[in-house]
Chain A
Amino acid sequence: MTHIQTSPGVSPPAGDRSVNKRNGPTGQAPPAGTTRPGRRENLAGYLFMSPWIAGFLFLIAGPMVFSLYLSFTEYNLFDAPRWIGLRNFTDMFADPRWRQSVKVTSWYVLIGTPVKLAAALAVAMLLAQKRWGQSFYRAAFYAPSLIGASVSAAIVWRALFSDGAVVDRTQKLFGVETGGWIGDPEMIIYALIALTVWQFGAPMVIFLAGLKQVPRELYEAAEVDGAGPWRRFFHITLPMISPVLFFNVLLETIHSFQIFGSAYILSNATCGPADATLVYTCYLYEQGFVNSRMGFASAMGWLLLVAVGLVTAVLFWSQKRWVHYEEGGR
């Protein structure tokens, strides 16, 4: 174990003890914290952590508890919250715009996430092969994820898909006239999905790491047995990278549920036209900050948390059927 010496005269924490503690029951010394110097060490630890703990309590835990309380109240930011029980939740189900936001978000998650992951995997497989200029391509494909979430990218996207812009003109070359996707309630959601798919860099890098772990011998053996590229993909690659795939599915699904920025900017802060990009968080934001219905917005937030929790649970449950871990690797 190595210690980082902070300044001369500051002795390092009692290293042996922390090693022993981590080693569990095989350690010789009593666990740290039960002896006087150990307690002191703990105290130092907490002291170092105090900015984080304070931040967590005041900036995360506190607001969360308060928002849970608000979800059962009517609160317009100015007057004191008024307890109304479950009415926010019942109002929600009766609200056609709320139902629309659930519909748009579900559509976005169901279409956007698989397409994004498929794109990420396809490009990762191409980039996994040894080629000239490989590192340049990897960087180039990853770059959109770095800038993808930014406002500027969404603005550029808006310009690309507008009436008479690049996409519209290209379509016209093929005889398809839609007059731009941004003003079209049927089409704008696909512009939004395309923007998400374009940001496939992060899952791609993870796939790339997974692909590198697949033993070459498996492919060689399969080739000797006469397996074609598709067979090798479905019977070797996919099962071998399934833990990585699971990780990416989980992360991207959770991420997709929370989409806000790109929908907000792409629709010029209207979540429209005709509520076509009214994703869940967009409606939540509108209710909270435009209509000053903070209680309702909080209720929406908590329902989203529960929904994402449920989807995550289902994914974890399903992994038994399709995720293969190497023995002992679990």
Chain B
Amino acid sequence: MSRNSGIDRRQMLKLAGLSAAGLGLTAAGCGSGGGSGSGGTVTIRHSWWGADDRAKKIQQCITLFEKKHPKIKVKTDFQQYGDFWKKFNTQAAGGNPPDVIQNAVTFLRKYEAKNVLLDLGPQAEKGNLDLTGFRAGLEKFAEVDGKLLGVPVGSNSMALVIDEKVYEKAGVAPEIGWTWDDWYAGLQKIRSSQNIPGDAGPHGVMYLYDLILRQNGKAFFTEDGMGFGEAELLPYWTEALERVKKGLYADQKKVEQIKPAFATTHGLSAGEFTWDNFSVRYSAEGRSSYGLAPIPSTDGKRTGQYLGSLMLSGSARTKHPAEVATFISFMTHDLEVARIMGYDRGVPATTAQFEAYQPADAPNKAIAAYETAIADAGLLEPITPHPAGADVVEAAFLRIGADLSLGKASPEDSVKQFLSEAKTALASN
């Protein structure tokens, strides 16, 4: 062994080669994924929010899709709602978003402003995406400034999920046309006869407050800002705090602890306002029987309701827009998909899918009956727009509503705090 030279030139070259190969491998590892595989097969990534149950159903649909479209492979990924958007934001900002995502109306303008979503219009023109057969104009649901940013997979509407046994025992029978006064009288009846709070505390639910505002000729959002101010929110939250103290709304400490479970399924309240398709989860989680009651109104007529919707959107960055459109089209039209998914993401958006799935179980039957009833009663209206930043506003509304009802802030301070946070969110998104 030579004492003079540590490593000779040949060895040095070898080493350099190895290092470079190592770095190259790492780089290759980062770069793969989503690209074309061998034999003309294309891989697209689809991610959504939801629980294990939805994951199983979606996986089944994808197996079916891959069988019918052998040249397209679909890789999947899912998180809970909150985590989903954190991950998506990071991926999108890093230039590596999934090709197809589950999406909601709250995010449309936000991502439209940032050019994140694929305009599916051209794909529909090319015939890769079928836009026929959607219920009640739902195919236009995600149209923003002439661009088609998503296709609905299911529609749902706000409802009051109730513990039927408690309501029955208290002798409260909600029906279409009931007013907020009727509802409030019901809460008092439930408290006095059943000794439990009638509601989980609706004051943090943005979508419900939107309905209340719409019943009074306003709305939560305008095209580019807030549709209400202190004059509207202060009385609403002042009243809410009083009702928590009176025990008409659930003990908020307990509601906090059981999250993300529902207050109603834990017997902390006799009901709560939420999306109608959530009622399936109530039956799975709780021991009582749960039903859907209509939204009360101010005048006994207008509830302000509209169809909300989950949709599938493509990424503007995708290298495979045609395959993305094919997949979305399959998920919205295939009859077998309808039978697998049921009402998991709301009532199917296309008439054919809606008819292909006939629910056999009580919770899903109730959803079908509820959606039919509100449509027949002529309650449905067009949705009000959600400006960019609406998602952050919604989170702030929920959080500050909870702080208020925990007694950590006065209604005045809470309203001030919310409006200031909303302003920041709408300005910076």
Contacts and interface: CB of A to CB of B under 8 A. Distances in A.
* A, B assembled together: yes
Interface of A: 9-14, 37, 40-41, 43-44, 47-48, 50-51, 54, 74, 76-79, 96, 162-163, 179-180, 182-185, 268-270, 272-275, 289-293
Given A275-B403, A289-B89, 13 more contacts: A11-B1, A11-B2, A11-B5, A37-B5, A40-B12, A41-B6, A44-B12, A47-B16, A76-B429, A268-B260, A274-B403, A291-B392, A292-B428
A11 B10 CA distance: 12
Interface stretch (B179-187, B248-256, B337-345, B358-366): B248-256
B257 A292 contact: no
A291 B425 contact: yes
B93 A78 contact: yes
A275 B421 CA distance: 15
Contact of A40 (B5, B255, B402): B5
Contacts of B8: 11
B417 A14 contact: no
A41 B15 CA distance: 13
A274 B408 CA distance: 7
28 contacts: A10-B7, A11-B7, A12-B1, A14-B3, A37-B5, A40-B6, A41-B6, A43-B12, A44-B6, A44-B7, A54-B23, A76-B114, A77-B93, A78-B92, A96-B417, A163-B253, A179-B251, A183-B256, A183-B257, A268-B259, A269-B83, A273-B256, A274-B409, A275-B408, A290-B395, A291-B392, A291-B425, A292-B89
B423 interface: no
Contacts of B392: 290-292
A79 B1 contact: no
B67 interface: no
Contacts of B7: 10-11, 40-41, 44
B24 interface: no
Chain A CB within 10 A, most for which of B16, B92, B251, B253: B253
B408 to A, nearest CB: 4
Contacts, number: 119
A37 B408 contact: no
B287 interface: no
A74 B346 CA distance: 38
B406 A13 contact: no
Max chain B CB contacts within 10 Å: which of A76, A185, A292? A292
B14 to A, nearest CB: 10
Contact of A182 (B22, B257, B395): B257
Contacts of B83: 269
Contacts of A50: 19
Contact of A77 (B2, B89, B258): B89
A184 B417 CA distance: 21
Nearest to B16: A47
Interface in B7-37: 7-8, 11-12, 15-16, 19, 22-23
B4 interface: yes
A272 B1 contact: no
Nearest to B22: A51
B82 interface: yes
B266 to A, nearest CB: 9
A13 B92 contact: no
Nearest to B1: A11
Contact of B406 (A12, A47, A185, A293): A185
Contacts of B114: 76, 78-79
Interface of B: 1-8, 11-12, 15-16, 19, 22-23, 82-83, 85-86, 89-90, 92-93, 114-116, 251-260, 392, 395, 399, 402-403, 406, 408-409, 417, 425, 428-429
Contacts of B19: 47, 50-51
Contacts of A51: 19, 22-23
A87 B114 CA distance: 23
Nearest to A79: B114
Contact of B6 (A37, A79, A183, A275): A37
B141 to A, nearest CB: 23
B17 to A, nearest CB: 11
Contacts of B258: 162-163
Nearest to A96: B417
A265 B400 CA distance: 20
Contacts of B23: 51, 54
B4 A273 contact: no
B402 A272 contact: yes
B408 A269 contact: no
B231 to A, nearest CB: 23
A270 B401 CA distance: 13
B3 A11 contact: yes
Contacts of B425: 291
Nearest to B12: A44
Q: Which 5 A-B pairs have the closest CB atoms?
A: A183-B257, A77-B93, A183-B256, A78-B114, A274-B408
A48 B14 CA distance: 12
A180 B86 contact: no
A90 B40 CA distance: 55
Given A182-B257, A273-B402, A13 B429 contact: no
A269 B82 contact: yes
Contact of B11 (A10, A48, A292): A10
Contacts of B92: 77-78
A321 to B, nearest CB: 40
A225 to B, nearest CB: 56
A272 B116 contact: no
A41 B85 CA distance: 50
A110 B276 CA distance: 47
Among B12, B251, B255, B428, the most chain A Cβ lie within 10 Å of the Cβ of: B428
Contacts of B86: 289-290
A293 B426 CA distance: 12
A273 B16 contact: no
Given A10-B7, A54-B23, A292-B429, A179 B15 contact: no
B403 A76 contact: no
B82 A180 contact: no
B406 A274 contact: yes
Contacts of A48: 15
Contacts of B11: 9-10
B5 A270 contact: no
Contacts of B417: 96
B203 to A, nearest CB: 14
B108 to A, nearest CB: 14
A274 B403 CA distance: 4
Nearest to B392: A291
Contacts of A43: 12
A140 to B, nearest CB: 30
B89 A44 contact: no
Contacts of A185: 406, 408
